[in-house]
Chains A and B, each alone.
Chain A
């Protein structure tokens, strides 16, 4: 069984992580597994390989023979006899990245919508208890306080002249 080491600079929550080679730029390092045990877990495997100091900079390993799965490197244990024990756990996001983005789901939060939406966002730090007051007038009004107007309404009895 051959495992290949990669280094990814991306956040562990990234789905389709960038996988960079280690130990010399674009090259990847592979190792043969020399497990003495008969069993290897699919989701949390451990691999015994020949020691190589370059492995310390790796974040992931890729195992084609285990269903093309990518694994996080959780721990490296130095063993006697020039060996290393690589303890791993499955990185489902990278392993199934191509399929995940083709799935349908309900998006509850998204960076790419770009702006707040009509959905109330309790995390957004707006200050509803710190308010700004401003105002604007309507374009017209029936009222006037001008001096050159006729402001009096006089009601009288009668109206025929003497």
Chain B
């Protein structure tokens, strides 16, 4: 869509230089970039304004926008940060936006400040209005005062093949000095990504990404960088601020000048304006509760940090830590502008448009979504031979676009430490079986012989029955369940002096990715495979081969160490490593060890027929039975001494706890000592199975002579094209037989023969 010359002035009056050097010969200027000026009296916004064509507080004509920036561009999602939130934050904090815009398509203009251009001086005073408040939609008239100018020239025309954007990365070491990035440095994206001279290693943080146009004003010269000016360059938005409307319903929220301070370059990612206010410097009027704000043009991988704060001044900066996704994220952001672009200086200066390191943003119905071509593919792009006025994009009748970004994330998280009323210990085998449990024998023996056992128990263990001190004992076949420094096990107030480590509450364990390789050539036969994922303790999950073939699957375990439950999280792994959780399976991986003791009150009442010595022994040794109850299978009635021996007996019996799943049941059924059970028998059998997640494949048998089959049948396909592109046995349908003379009957015969199979 061509620029509306009724608003922006006739093209013959557009300034046809791209530098501020008037030495360019007139005959060469046709190749250059053209500018319309807001302060060029005869053909600018002022003229439009005075003629009533661009009134104040009305959207400016969008025809300057040669393409639309898609929903993928950060320019469609400006983030606004309230100054009050900034002032309340601590230096180093990441700030959260109070509002994020959401445009499906963003129209824009490239503008360049030129307040020092001598010929402007005569207009400085002429452009002020009485109130100096020319809030309008950009391109801007900006804030007005008599001495400084924010009035901008805007790019009204350029040939795509003479406007090459070179991408620059503004990097630093991650620290801030006086609120500004320390030793900030600007390098090309190529040099940064390839760590030339160690720049990325020494400065692994980025605070801005910009582009600098390179143009060639003479066919015999290399391209030159467009000159910077003191006011720098800005990308102005021509659309409404979509934060809402005033209470009166009128859309009084407007854009104005969007400035940035990046060495005279066009900002791609970073701070858009130093400080927006409801006044006209930014030209944006927003809800009164957010009267002063900061704007950032950044995707979600970036953040805005508070870098300096004193009594009357705050400073903030956009920051991103480098990672392997930075390069592609940056390339795609630039590609939205539909320009030829490169990450390398030499290509910007002299690279041909079909050079392998020259890229071109792909426009779909005039919208840039971040895709780009390179090398020979660039010749297929309409920009190869067109100017900014020739693109078939109408900002007033934009195409329907999918507003969804499809960049969602699904991930698991570590839980915060949960406070509990119990102490939890991770104990090794030796300490548990040979140190702790035998030690429990001695606890009650420490009681004063004259002291009532119940009182001793209460005083020492805080409970009537010492066994109640132990909330649970679990055996888990899980790695690294401990955290922190070693300690000793305490029961109530009693310190057993047995060493143990504090136990974690939960574990999140990544079992890794597994790539499911197609073994038959990645064709339909591979999709006949049945894939089952065995998950220890959790069962099995079926994986759809149509989804997972030639892709990676990830398994992550979430284990709750307080209850022993576990959940296996199965995720599809995308090309960029991003995970989408597709299935979960849960189970129990803990074996609750029945820890029993004698229920004293019940025992007393049930053993009234037993001999006095046995009874007394039982009462006094109630706690001694604690450590070896699992071995106590003998009846008290039959052999009191033997039973006592069994109870006292063997720490060896402890080993039986987890080696026989029937002990708990047997005890319940056979013992006549009233046991108090804590916990129930748990998932022993799960631990007896495979403990690695395992993929099981069930493949059909493939056994045939491939060449013979191909020659007599061909392989099933569904392609369209010229028959000359195929050979051998071929079956063709829907063939277009135009272009040669044959009778209708002959053509029918040809169609029939092609459909039944011919040899080309």
A136 touches B700 (CB 8 A): no
Category for how many chain B residues contact A: 35 or more
Q: Which of A26-34, A51-59, A79-87, A98-106 contacts B (4 or more CB under 8 A)?
A: A98-106
Q: Which residues of A contact B493 (CB under 8 A)?
A: 158, 160-162
Q: Are B715 and A113 neighbours in the complex by a CB distance under 8 Å?
A: yes
Whether A13 and B757, one on each chain, are in contact in the complex, defined by CB atoms closer than 8 angstroms, is: yes
Residue contact A119 to B718, C-beta cutoff 8 Å: yes
* Residue A39 lies at the interface, judged by CB distance under 8 Å to chain B: no
Is B693's CB under 8 angstroms from A103's CB?
Answer: no
A144 at the interface (CB under 8 A from B): yes
Is A110 part of the binding interface, using a Cβ–Cβ cutoff of 8 Å? yes
Chain A: interface secondary structure?
A: loop
Interface residues of B in 661-702 (CB under 8 A from A): 687, 690-702
CB distance from A113 to the nearest CB of B (A): 5
B563 shortest CB reach to chain A, Å = 10
- Tell me which of A119, A141, A147 contacts B511 (CB under 8 A): A141
A158 touches B495 (CB 8 A): no
Within 8 A of A (CB), among B499-538: 500-501, 503, 507, 509-514, 520-521, 523-525, 527-528, 530, 534, 536-537
Which B residue sits closest to A129, measured CB to CB? B700
The reply to whether A156 and B723 contact each other, CB–CB distance below 8 Å, is no
| A102 in contact with B722 given A93-B753, A154-B470 (CB within 8 Å) | yes
Say which residue of B463, B507, B713 sits within 8 Å of A109 (CB atoms).
Answer: B713
User: Of residues 549 to 591 in B, which have CB atoms within 8 Å of A's CB atoms?
Assistant: 555, 557, 559, 561-562, 564, 589-590
In the complex with contacts A103-B739, A151-B475, A154-B473, A123-B589 CB distance below 8 A? no
- Complex interface residues of chain A between 100 and 152 (CB less than 8 A to chain B): 100-145, 147, 149-152
Cross-interface CB contact of B739 among A102, A158, A161, cutoff 8 Å:
A102
Instruction: Indicate which residue in A102, A106, A114, A155 contacts B715 across the interface (CB closer than 8 Å).
Output: A114
Q: What's the Cα separation between A102 and B723 when bound, in Å? A: 6
Residues of A within 8 A of B476 (CB): 151-153
Binary contact track A50-92/B, C-beta < 8 Å → 1, others 0: 0000000000000000010000000000000000000000101
Q: Are B477 and A10 in contact (CB under 8 A)?
A: no
B282 sits at the interface (CB 8 A): no
- Is A40's beta carbon under 8 Å from chain B? no
Say whether, besides A121-B715, A150-B426, A160-B493, A127 and B514 are in contact (CB < 8 Å): no
Q: Give the chain B neighbours of A10 by CB distance below 8 A.
A: 759
Do the beta carbons of A93 and B758 come within 8 Å of each other?
A: yes
Instruction: Name the contact of A130 in the complex, choosing from B495, B524, B691, B700 (C-beta under 8 A).
Output: B700
Residue in contact with B524 in the complex, picked from A11, A116, A138, A145, CB distance below 8 Å: A116
Q: Which stretch of B110-118, B386-394, B417-425 is in the interface?
A: B417-425
Which residues of chain A come closer than 8 Å to B693, judged between CB atoms?
Answer: 137-138, 141
Q: Which of B429, B491, B523, B730 contacts A107 (CB 8 A)?
A: B730
Residues from chain B with Cβ under 8 Å of A135 in the complex: 534, 694-697
CB distance A107 to B721 under 8 Å? yes
Contact-residue size bin, chain A (C-beta under 8 Å from the other chain) = 35 or more
Pairwise interchain contact A134-B697, C-beta atoms closer than 8 A: yes
| Interface check B612, CB cutoff 8 A | no
* Chain B residues near A127 (CB-CB < 8 A): 700-703
Expressed in whole angstroms, the Cα–Cα distance for A60 and B703 within the complex equals 40
Q: How far is the CB of B79 from chain A (nearest CB, A)?
A: 39
Q: Are A138 and B512 in contact (CB under 8 A)?
A: yes
B719: CB under 8 A from chain A? yes
Contact B704 A108, beta carbon cutoff 8 Å: no
CB distance from A127 to the nearest CB of B (A): 4
**Shortest Cβ distance from A137 into chain B, in angstroms?**
4
Of the candidates B463, B521, B701, the one having the most CB atoms from chain A within 10 angstroms of its own CB is B701
Q: Is the CB of A154 within 8 A of B701?
A: no
Are B559 and A136 within 8 A (Cβ)? no
Q: How far is the CB of B321 from chain A (nearest CB, A)?
A: 27
Q: Is B471 an interface residue (CB 8 A)?
A: yes
A100 to B264 CA separation, bound complex (whole angstroms):
61
Closest chain B CB from A95 CB (angstroms): 8
Chain A residues, CB < 8 A from B733? 105-106, 108
Determine if A14 is an interface residue (Cβ-Cβ < 8 Å): yes
Query: B491: nearest residue on chain A (CB-CB)?
Result: A156
Contact B495 A92 (CB under 8 A): no
Expressed in whole angstroms, the minimum distance between the Cβ of A41 and any Cβ of chain B is 11
Q: Which residue of A lies closest to B699 (CB)?
A: A132
Asked if A156 meets B470 with Cβ closer than 8 Å, knowing A107-B732, A138-B512, A142-B557, the reply is yes
Contact flags (1/0) for B735-760 with A, using CB distance below 8 Å?
Answer: 11101111101100110011011111
Which residues of chain A are within 8 angstroms of B709 by Cβ–Cβ distance? 124-125
Whether A24 is near chain B, meaning CB under 8 Å from some CB there, is no
Known A103-B737, A116-B523; contact A154-B477, beta-carbon cutoff 8 A: no
Q: How far is the CB of B489 from chain A (nearest CB, A)?
A: 7
B720 touches A104 (CB 8 A): yes
* Residues of chain B with a CB closer than 8 A to A121's CB: 524, 715-716
**Beta-carbon contact of B495 and A131 below 8 Å:** no
Who on chain B is nearest to A143 by CB? B691
* In the bound complex, CA of A16 to CA of B530 (Å): 44
Query: Which single residue of chain A is at the shortest CB-CB distance from B556?
Result: A142
With A104-B721, A107-B719, A141-B693 as known contacts, state yes or no: A157 contacts B524, CB within 8 Å: no
Contact across chains for A126 and B701 when beta carbons are under 8 A apart: yes
Given contacts A100-B750, A154-B427, whether A139 and B512 have CB atoms under 8 Å apart is yes
B462 part of interface (Cβ distance < 8 Å): yes
A109 to B706, CA, bound (A): 14
Q: Do residues A104 and B726 form an inter-chain contact, with CB atoms below 8 A?
A: no
| B713 proximity list for chain A (CB < 8 A) | 109, 123-124
B627 to chain A, nearest CB (A): 13
* Residues of A1-34 contacting chain B, CB below 8 A: 10-11, 13-16
A44 to chain B, nearest CB (A): 10
Q: Is the CB–CB distance between A157 and B758 below 8 Å?
A: no
- 8 Å CB contact of B507 from A104, A142, A156, A162: A142
Given A108-B732, A109-B715, CB of A99 within 8 Å of CB of B511: no
Please give, as numbers and ranges, the residues of chain B lying within 8 Å of A129 by CB-CB distance: 700
Asked if residues A144 and B479 are in contact (CB atoms below 8 Å), the reply is: yes
Distance in Å from the Cβ of B701 to the closest Cβ of chain A? 4
Chain A residues within 8 Å of B742, by CB: 92, 95-96, 99
Asked if A152 contacts B469 (CB within 8 A), the reply is no
Do A120 and B524 form a contact, CB below 8 Å, given A131-B700, A141-B691, A143-B477?
Answer: yes
Chain A residues lying within 8 Å of B711, measured Cβ to Cβ, are 111
List, in ascending order, chain B residues with CB within 8 A of A106's CB.
Answer: 718-720, 732-735
Given contacts A90-B746, A135-B696, 15 further A-B contacts (CB under 8 A): A105-B720, A105-B723, A111-B714, A113-B726, A115-B523, A116-B523, A140-B510, A140-B511, A143-B477, A144-B477, A151-B478, A152-B473, A154-B432, A156-B425, A161-B495
Please list the residues of chain B having a beta carbon within 8 angstroms of any beta carbon in chain A: 421-429, 432, 436, 460-463, 468-479, 481-482, 489-495, 500-501, 503, 507, 509-514, 520-521, 523-525, 527-528, 530, 534, 536-537, 555, 557, 559, 561-562, 564, 589-590, 687, 690-704, 706, 709-711, 713-724, 726-737, 739-743, 745-746, 749-750, 753-754, 756-760
Residues of A participating in the B interface, judged by any CB pair closer than 8 Å: 10-11, 13-16, 42-43, 67, 90, 92-93, 95-96, 99-145, 147, 149-162
A-B contact pairs, 10 of them (CB 8 A): A96-B746, A109-B715, A117-B715, A134-B699, A139-B514, A142-B511, A143-B478, A150-B428, A150-B481, A152-B432
**Closest 3 pairs between A and B when the two form their complex, measured CB to CB:** A111-B728, A105-B735, A109-B714
